[in-house]
Amino acid sequence: MKLTAKIKLLPTSEQAQNLLDTLVRANQACHALSEIAWENKQFKQFGLHKLAYYPIKEQFGLSAQMIVRCIAKVVDAYKLDKKSKREFRPTGAIAYDSRIISYKPAKNTVSIWTLTGRVAIPYIGGEHNEALLKFQQGESDLFYRKGKWFLLATCDVPDEQTSEIDSILGVDLGIVDLATDSDGQRFTGSEIRKYRKKRASIRASVQAKKNAKASKSTIKNTRRLLKRISKRERTTSTIINHTISKRLVEKAQSSNRGIALENLKGIRDRTVPRLRKKQRREHSSWPFYQLRQFITYKAQLNGVPVMVIPPAYTSKTCHECNHLGHRSGKSFTCTNCGNCTDADHNGALNIAAVGASVTWPENSTLICFLHRS
Ligand SMILES: [Zn+2]
């Protein structure tokens, strides 16, 4: 499974200058390469290499491998179309491969090629990224933003030998309770709701000021505040997603269960229209994709099998009798058997049942469920 680790470099001021010089020089080389490609109508890796490698090496003093990366960047840029000459930002991101970068996760340092040779630079990434880095493989993008340095590293996480499982833990993702499992446990994000409410009210106030033609500086200040809040909100939602996914995976692992999740498309399709406008604003932009990604990779790291269930019917079907019922807000009512229950818990039970029917088809009466969707 390919995942990307994002780490922040902590260079000394001398190293930072060195990185900047290297990035600028590499982009200048890309610029020159683009010119050669454009003039000669040569947009293929091999052809451009043959044409430009030596002159560029001489002119820019980059390592052989760095020039190969620059040629790849230029060729990539022309892949979209060849109708206009490509230009490159002076500090655009540059890809490093294993010949010009290596990670030392035990020491939290990275050894990276620069104009003055290899330098060892410390980094931080947090628990998630540092765990991923053990599986770093292939390219890393060095990028620079607002005086700070980052690496985006491609990691190939091996599928751990999956353990024997006895049953399935179904997980329903929804925007009122972020996750509900088939045991009936709910995972909510009350903290994030507070942020969302605050942000919604600030956004409304920006709009009001705009309508009332407030001074430009007032609007600017409010905008800045809004930006700061959404950044903090993103950090908080990432932490919440880590916590929820960790707890779910630990629960499944300790009880010999696999995890069944609903295909994400379901969340927006079925939950959004049900909620009132105000509620929708507070919850609908939750990073569910990230939550599912966290559950999947943590499960894989721990040998817990994960399966994805198509969403059709899981929320509308009664878990007790398999008839279609009514879902209204958080409650589910079955017109057939009278079952009345929490809608997300009912959904999670259905997801678990479909997951079990996929895992042990010989014991299942539910397999038709999958074909209906
Ligand atoms: Zn029923």
Distance from the alpha carbon of residue 172 to the mean position of ligand 1, in angstroms: 19
Domain boundaries, given as residue ranges, for the chain: 2-156, 167-186+248-372
Structure tokens at 143: 């990028």
List Cα–Cα distances, 172 to 26, 137, 178, 320, 349, in angstroms.
47, 33, 8, 17, 8
Distance from the alpha carbon of residue 188 to the mean position of ligand 1, in angstroms: 27
Rounded to an integer, what distance in angstroms lies between the CA atom of residue 281 and that of residue 276? Answer: 9
> What is the sign of the dihedral through the CA atoms of 231, 236, 240 and 246?
positive
Distance from the alpha carbon of residue 333 to the mean position of ligand 1, in angstroms: 8
8 Å CB contact between 166 and 257: yes
- Give the Cβ contact number of residue 56 at 10 Å: 22
pLDDT along the chain (373 residues), means of 10: 88 96 97 96 95 94 94 94 92 94 92 95 88 88 94 84 85 83 86 71 76 79 79 82 93 94 62 51 69 88 86 79 84 89 90 84 57 40
**pLDDT score for 220:** 83
8 Å CB contact between 169 and 248: yes
Distance from the alpha carbon of residue 315 to the mean position of ligand 1, in angstroms: 12
The pTM (predicted TM-score) of the whole model is: 0.64
Distance from the alpha carbon of residue 182 to the mean position of ligand 1, in angstroms: 17
DSSP E strand stretches across the chain: 2-9, 94-96, 101-104, 109-114, 117-124, 136-145, 148-156, 167-173, 179-181, 186-187, 257-262, 306-309, 326-328, 331-333, 340-342
First to last CA, the chain: 27
Distance from the alpha carbon of residue 325 to the mean position of ligand 1, in angstroms: 7
8 Å CB contact between 196 and 282: yes
**pLDDT score for 278:** 54
Type of residue found at 194 = K
Q: If you write DSSP's letter for every residue of 98-162 in order, what string do you get? A: TTTEEEETTTTEEEEEETTEEEEEEEE-HHHHHHHHTTEEEEEEEEEETTEEEEEEEEE---PPP
Distance from the alpha carbon of residue 317 to the mean position of ligand 1, in angstroms: 8
Distance from the alpha carbon of residue 340 to the mean position of ligand 1, in angstroms: 8
8 Å CB contact between 329 and 341: no
Rounded to an integer, what distance in angstroms lies between the CA atom of residue 235 and that of residue 229? Answer: 10
Q: If you write DSSP's letter for every residue of 41-64 in order, what string do you get? A: T--SHHHHHHHHHHHHHHHH---H
Distance from the alpha carbon of residue 345 to the mean position of ligand 1, in angstroms: 14
Distance from the alpha carbon of residue 360 to the mean position of ligand 1, in angstroms: 23
Distance from the alpha carbon of residue 332 to the mean position of ligand 1, in angstroms: 10
Report which of 218, 178, 222 is spatially closest to residue 198, judged by C-alpha positions.
222
Distance from the alpha carbon of residue 324 to the mean position of ligand 1, in angstroms: 7
Rounded to an integer, what distance in angstroms lies between the CA atom of residue 67 and that of residue 53? Answer: 7
**pLDDT score for 117:** 92
8 Å CB contact between 171 and 314: no
Rounded to an integer, what distance in angstroms lies between the CA atom of residue 306 and that of residue 304? Answer: 6
